[in-house]
Amino acid sequence: MAGTKPKIRFSKVIEILLWLAGLGVLAENIFLFQQNRHLSEALAPQITAGTQLQMLAGIAFDGRLEPVALPAAGSKLLIITFSPGCPACQANQEGWMKLASTLEQKGVRVLWVSRDAIEITRSYLALLTS
């Protein structure tokens, strides 16, 4: 009977370690859930489809803040955001340009907005037009 007592202690130690590991995993999941919610809120779209814009401005190639003339009520504006450093954006650029051309022929105004610095965007556009 003396041999069974250490097994009980060993199984209790294992049980306690498993509970501690489970609590650690639960705490990590709660932390990740809160972090994910915070990131989702930070990355939430600021302009949604159908939003009536009162004013829109961007930084021009010379660094000036330039207001964008918005289309009249009832007309349509498509804003394409891209990043010159993004491989997916580069791969889709030709298709987006065809789409923009087609939409512009149908009276839809297309506005291209780069998410990168002016210098990077300027270099990228120089490559596209050469």
* Domain annotation covers residue 52: no
Do 68 and 32 share a domain, yes or no? no
Q: How far apart are CA 33 and CA 124, in angstroms?
A: 38
pLDDT tens figures, 34-79: 988 888 777 766 777 777 777 788 888 777 888 888 777 778 888 8
* Domain annotation covers residue 38: yes
Do 63 and 25 share a domain, yes or no? no
* Domain annotation covers residue 49: no
Residue 108: domain span: 57-129
DSSP3 helix / strand / coil % (the chain, rounded to 5): 55, 15, 30
Residues in the chain: 130
Do 68 and 121 share a domain, yes or no? yes
Total-model pTM = 0.54
Q: Is 59 helix (H, G, I), strand (E, B) or coil?
A: strand
Do 65 and 35 share a domain, yes or no? no
* Domain annotation covers residue 5: yes
Asked whether residue 114 carries a pLDDT value surpassing 80, the answer given is yes
pLDDT tens figures, 6-30: 567 878 889 999 999 999 999 999 9
* Tokens linked to 59: 């930084």
Mean pLDDT score, 86-111: 91
Do 63 and 117 share a domain, yes or no? yes
- In one-letter notation, the amino acid at residue 41 is E
Whether the CB-CB separation of 71 and 61 falls below 8 Å is answered with no
Domain count of the fold of the chain: 2
CA dist list (Å): 85 to 19, 81, 93:
46, 12, 12
Q: How far apart are CA 59 and CA 65, in angstroms?
A: 5
Q: How far apart are CA 89 and CA 69, in angstroms?
A: 25
